[in-house]
Structure 1
Amino acid sequence: MFAKPFYAALFASLCALAGTPAAWAADAPPATAAPAPATPGARIPIEHFFDSTSFSGAILSPDGRRLAVRVAPPGQRVRLAVLELASMQVKVVAFFSDADVNTFRWVNDQRLVFDLADRQLAQGALRYGAGLYAVNADGGNYRQLVTRNESRQNKRAILMLPWNTYLLQSIGDQQSDDVFVVQPDFTRPGEIHDLALLRLNTSTGISRTVAQPAGARNWLFDKQGQLRIAQAPDGGNEVTYYRDSAEAPWRVLARFDAYHGGKDAFSPAFFAPDGTLYVHARHGSDKQALYRYDLEKNRIDDTPLAASADFDVHAEMLGANDRLLGLRYETDAQTTQWLDEKMQALQKQVNGMLPMSINSLSTGWRSATPFILVRSVSDTMPVTYYLFNSDTASLSVLGSAHPAILPSQMANKDLRHYQARDGLDIPAWLTLPKGQVKMRPMVVLVHGGPWVRNSWDWDAESQFLASRGYVVLEPEYRGSTGYGEHHFKAGWKQWGLKMQDDIADGARWAIAQGIADPRRICIAGASYGGYATLMGLINDPDLYRCGIDWLGVTDIDLLRNGSWGGYSNVSEHYRQYGMPVLIGDPVKDAAQFKATSPLQQAARITQPLLLAYGSADQRVPLPHGRQFYDAVRKTNAQVEWVEYATEGHGWALPATRVDFWQRVEKFLDRNIGPGSASQ
């Protein structure tokens, strides 16, 4: 049964700042109502898709007695609140007038730690670091632990750690006041020279250095909060160090090529509550799986604990204080594999109440209550949080990331497969607009990365396009991760070549299926997806009617060699060891780089093109866009250019997102939509 929506009253008081500590309260305007959902049949406002999330996270305390939530009334700052589950009383424990609560987690049953961001500023306008703060669940014992800038003028700042101190997401025993933090030493912005690891007491502010191997970059702690594994680069290799206890010496557990891996390569995953080490490995298979690692024999078990025939498994531990409860990982959608019979039964019960969504259950680490947090999402529903009471079998809504979105108005998204011209199987996500789906205009939306993947969930971009009547095809071209080693490595050194063919073959598949109108296909994407957009217009001019590139790479040499006047945060290690393997060698593959450079081939693009770049982008600096725009407009009068001041590699501000997608809407309407000549 669903409980009555008593949370509405609780969160109304939260949004009115009831119980906000005076030290942090701002003269904020009164809380306003969330935007009303669009009337069925009416065009859904762009703002509903691209606004900032209003309910953006919830975590149960280790004992399960409290729920910490991150929430923002419309138009206001993100604040942190605590709900006492026994009394259902809510209290705001952190609210700032000049910043938003960002990451947060429980230190122990009573204490929270969090850092800050600023959702009202884009990357180029940011002035402060994330800081670090701690507070009790009742709002007491508030303490700033890390400064937000480099100034040491304030006497109180002397007692704090410097701005370049960041929270490490380790669980530990959750029974002390301690957390782990790291301090990068930047030789230049974006280039990490060294990382100090500290154990920080969130009540006293006192920290002490944790011994680790030189150059360590990744760490793994056991359930008692002891550092047991550290990883460090050594040239093109990655070395994994291990120690049996805090007093034991470090020893090399493994050494593998950082990119090629090897037959026996693995990556540490987690220590289970009983001290067992689990690792991710292929272990002779094409697909990555989760295995137990025998530390006495220094070998991986033969049988995986979690595996999939079609997807790589990268598992997250779901544990209790004394045992491993289950695993959570991504296949076509998020999957939970419960090892505990009670949790299996509860999962089945919740799924029966929420049958149309993927429901991820979580409990306190040593929960003493019947409360279970449920995170639900589907292709048509943004992330929504519920609280389930296993004693009463009642389910109560906590909040939605985008409350104005109605699932009934969204389009369904399915995983399809087609064959590339060389026979490789290509997965692809297909979002079909409601109504007639034959011979519709289509947008081929290319994901960035390119070494990432998409998933079955609610996506603002594809849903917005579908709401305007466009079929959306998102190919998982070779090089995409999550589909096995062969699929991933088939994309090495294939920028603009076979990776590009995979995308075009997907568009032709959609035409052959009768889904897409061959006269009305547009290719679009950001970052690598922007690069693929430009190369698609060059390689297949008869296939794509138009293109939309935002934040796209326009030249591989430009990406590798410092971007010719724009600062790039691509690390020297990646330039030296990663790019030659994944993208190509600057000397041996120079001819290929030139042939697959949109900048060098700009004169071949004659189709309508929308270009959008951020002036503060450090991953694909502005010269990528500027130089390409200057080159392409010499021979193409159908190019629209927009530059967003202070935006970085992604649109941080809702106003930017709304403006950009309004431009996209008009551009598509003119070229493949109702306003196009081909209509």
Structure 2
Amino acid sequence: MKNAKTIILFTFALFTCHSLYAEEIPLEAFSNLPKYQQVSISQTGKRIAYVENYQAPQKLSVLTTFNLENQKRKLLLQSDNVEVKINWFEWANDDVLLVSAKYETKQRLQRYYQTRLFSIDVSAKEPKTKYLLKPSSGFNQQDFVSQFQDNVIDFLPDDKDHILMAVDRDVHAMPSVFRVNINTGRKKRVERAKMSIRDWTTDQQHVVRVGYAYDYDSGDTTYYHRFGKKDDFEALFEFNTFEDKPTHVLGFGLDPNILYYSAYRGDYRAIYKLSLDTKQSELVHAYDDKDVSGGLIYSRKTRDVIGVYDRYALYGRHYFDESAYKLNRGLEKIFEGSQAYVTDMSSDEKQYIALIEADYKAPIYYFGDRNKKILQPILEKYPMLYEVPLSHHERVTYEARDGVKIEGYLSLPLTGEAPYPTVLHPHGGPGARDVDGFDPWVSYMTNRGYAVFRPNFRGSTGYGYEFAQAQMGRWGLEMQDDLSDAALWLVEGGIADPDKMCIFGASYGGYAAMMASVKTPDLFTCAVSFAGVSDLKQLRKVQRRFLGGSVVADNQIGKKSKDLKSRSPLHGVEKIKIPLLIMHGSEDIIVRVNQSRVFVDELEDQNKDFKYVEFENGDHYLSIQENRTAFFEELDSFLAEHLGTPKP
């Protein structure tokens, strides 16, 4: 890969090497980490940066830049994704890349992540990383060290040498704002920590204007605002996170008196703009039956707000001016039947990166130049899946036992006929949701001949406040019944073979899979849990050790010991009748590996049919390639054994 032309020719070669019929695709096509990720373009469109995941000679993630003018690339950082991971990166100017790294840390018995920020001058012959915000001389090691040191609140596009960062260097968990030189690391405090403010927001003139204050003990939240640097802060929005419908500041318009925020219009989240001088609000974007879930879209050229991200809108964006759709509409004509997302643009909006994908098409990054009228494929996320037929995802609705309408995504294999061997695949979170678009996990299962259904059960986001709040203290209850009702709906509709139906999930989805084997022991043929929760009492205990964790655990998980026990799969193992596959990473700090270990011990004690796989150094996200490969191999073998192996 010596130059841009080489990249393009290489990509086109891949386009023609696959045959267009439903064949069983090699497992590594799905299990490999994306070949390329997080493609970003610099301000002038001169360079792009991206993470490339190598399989040989070593399995590494490498942060790389490519100069579109001189056709040269540079390898900046590499990670094996074990102790240090590349978290995110952003162009500070056309030559300097800011890079956030995520480290795993252990203090006493607690494991947690911390982040650090580095700058890299990619124009240098041999680029070097510079650690920003080093501890000052005479730093007392007995004092706290900021856990998160990568919170950039303003990239200061008119100042190529500085950024504004919010870091708790003065008071623990209360960040001050610093003006940081990205070349030298020198800093100057511009706003001191105060009033339990946990984060800050600047306006488009780069003045610190809004502070987000949160009480970790009560959940009380206040947004403070001021007009100018010398003015006092006054309360703008106040609510309790667990008792009230929340309001969230999104950002400022180019006019420093216009503030955009999200709030609930009845039961559904909407976007408003507030005139700060008159305190008058105006509705910007809303639906009558669903949430507007995204943030603001800014023009790179004017720096004003031009729309909001919205997965229900055309191209996933709601623009205020119809003319802003011009580029997306042009891409739509070229890539008919695919979804075209402009993921990054140069400052003048002439050069851009577009991601083209569909349910049935693996994503490809394109580079576009509107001046030169160029649009070229540059990087494929899943090279082995290009030109391979994959399944569509159909959005469907079913009715739960109490009449609540539940939406989900049904993906059918390209071969075979109904009723299919089926996988019910609940998402994690549970405060998340499934969507359409390319999904390597779903594509793998449908390629193997299984139907896949992903229900957005109660507790999922995007369907209103009450629907999302239904998760609070209700794990294993109505949320679990929604999954059971989904399985029954699939069988009654003739889609799923009742004798060949498995439930598979990760994180909360892993809990749901284990709970299904306990609560509905005759409904599924098998169950698969990755990084699942088996003991709610232990989950609550661990959560309460962290700052602000007590009030979150009490509200989301519950308080009463007897109730937590009744909703924990660990305490219902005797009811299990089906085989289980339990998998977990040994270094998972989101859901501790002990959650699977104690469950497996109980399975063994009661002589149940199970297999347990623990991944060395494994995290919550299967970031290490060896673990991801092993995971897919175990899943593939288990599903084939219990659901059969339908052939193309």
2:375 counterpart of 1:395 = yes
Normalising by structure 2, report the TM-score. 0.87
2-structure distance, mates of 1:101, 1:342: 37
- Which shows bigger deviation, 238-247 or 208-217? 208-217
1:218 aligns with 2:199: yes
- The equivalent position to 1:406 in structure 2, one of 366, 372, 386, is 386
Q: Which ranges of structure 1 fall in alignment gaps of 5 or more residues? A: 14-32, 563-567
Q: CA deviation at 1:104?
A: 1.4
Distance in 2, matches of 1:44 and 1:169, equals: 42
Counterpart of 2:621 (choices 613, 631, 650) is: 650
CA contact (8 A) 1:92 1:139 kept: no
1:49 deviation in Å?
Answer: 0.9
Aligned to 2:609: 638
Tell me the secondary structure at the aligned position of residue 537 of structure 1: helix
What amino acid does structure 1 have at the position aligned with 2:383? P
Of 488-497 and 445-454, more deviation after overlay is shown by 488-497
Instruction: Give the distance between the partners of 2:499 and 2:506, measured in 1 at CA.
Output: 23
Structure 1, residues 611-655: CA drift from partner, whole Å, max 9, x if none?
112222222212211111111222233111111122122322111
SS in 1 for 2:611: strand
- Determine if contact 1:448/1:526 at 8 Å carries over to the other structure: yes
- What residue is the counterpart of 1:170 in the other structure? 153
Q: Distance in 2 between matches of 1:174 and 1:506?
A: 49
Contact 2:221–2:239 (8 Å) recurs in 1: yes
Is 1:466 the equivalent of 2:441? no
Equivalent-residue separation in structure 1 for 2:341 and 2:460 (angstroms): 25
Shift of the alpha carbon at 1:467?
1.3
- Structure 1 position 72, deviation (Å): 4.4
Instruction: State the shift of 1:222 in Å.
Output: 1.6
Question: 1:581 maps to which residue?
Answer: 555
Q: Greater shift after overlay, 87-96 or 512-521?
A: 87-96
Residue 51 of structure 1 and its aligned partner are, at CA, apart by 1.2
Summarize the alignment of residues 339-350 of structure 1 with structure 2, pairs less than 5 Å apart.
339-350=320-331
Q: Describe the shift of the 1:229–1:659 C-alpha distance in structure 2 as closer, same or farther (beyond 3 A).
A: same
1:625 maps to what in 2? Answer: 596
Residue 91 of structure 1 corresponds to 73
- State the secondary structure of the residue aligned to 1:170: strand
Displacement of 1:65: 4.5
Shift, 1:295, TM fit: 1.4
* Paired residue secondary structure (2:268): coil
Work out the CA distance in 2 between the residues paired with 1:181 and 1:602: 49
CA contact (8 A) 1:325 1:338 kept: yes
**Farther-moved stretch of structure 1 (613-622 vs 128-137):** 128-137
Q: Relative to 1, partners in 2 of residues 1:199 and 1:476: Cα closer, same or farther, differing over 3 Å? A: same
CA RMSD in angstroms comes to 3.5
**Aligned length, in residue pairs:** 622
Separation in 1, partners of 2:622, 2:364? 23
The answer on 1:599 being equivalent to 2:570 is yes
Which amino acid in structure 2 is aligned with residue 651 of structure 1? L
Q: How far apart in 1 are the matches of 2:541 and 2:587?
A: 18
Quote how far apart the aligned CAs of 1:207 are: 1.0
Between the aligned partners of 2:413 and 2:292, the Cα distance in structure 1 is 30
CA contact (8 A) 2:576 2:608 kept: no
**Structure number with higher strand proportion:** 2
Between the aligned partners of 2:398 and 2:532, the Cα distance in structure 1 is 26
User: What SS does the corresponding residue of 1:382 show, helix, strand or coil?
Assistant: strand
Specify the code of the residue in structure 1 equivalent to 2:573.
A
* Deviation (angstroms), 1:128: 10
What secondary structure sits across from 1:408 in the alignment? coil
Who is 1:258 aligned against? 241
Cα distance between partner residues in 1 of 2:390 and 2:287: 32
Note the C-alpha offset of 1:118.
8.8
SS in 2 for 1:535: helix
Distance 1:274 1:408 in 2: 49
Deviations 1:371-416 (A, max 9, x none): 2321223212333211223345432112121111135321111211
Are residues 358 and 259 of structure 1, via their aligned partners in 2, closer, same or farther at CA, if it must alter by over 3 Å?
farther
Match of 1:181 in 2: 165
Deviation at 1:149, TM superposition (A): 10
Partner of 1:327: 308
Query: Could you say which residue in structure 2 is the equivalent of 1:427?
Result: 407
Instruction: Return the TM-score normalized by structure 1.
Output: 0.83
**Does 2:493 match 1:513?**
yes
Q: Contact conserved, 1:56 with 1:71, CA < 8 A, in 2? A: yes
Is 2:55 the partner of 1:71? no
Cα deviation for residue 38 of structure 1 reads 8.2
407 and 481 in structure 1: CA distance in 2 versus 1, 3 angstrom threshold: farther
* Distance in 1 separating the partners of 2:170 and 2:179: 21
Q: How does 1:337-376 map to 2 (within 5 A)?
A: 337-361=318-342, 364=345, 366-367=347-348, 370-376=350-356
- Structure 2 unaligned segments of length 5 or more: list them: none
CA contact (8 A) 1:537 1:544 kept: yes
Deviations 1:463-485 (A, max 9, x none): 11111111111110001111111
- 377, 381, 403: which one pairs with 2:361? 381
Q: In structure 2, what is the Cα distance between the partners aligned to 1:569 and 1:179? A: 35
Q: Is the 8 A contact 1:336 1:360 kept in 2?
A: no
Which amino acid letter does the alignment assign opposite residue 582 of structure 1? Q
In the alignment, does 2:117 pair up with 1:132?
yes
In the alignment, the residues of structure 1 paired with residue 170 and residue 490 of structure 2 have an alpha-carbon distance, to the nearest angstrom, of 48
1:205 to partner: Cα distance: 1.6
Structure 1 SS opposite 2:73: strand
**C-alpha distance in 1 between matches for 2:314 and 2:576:** 37
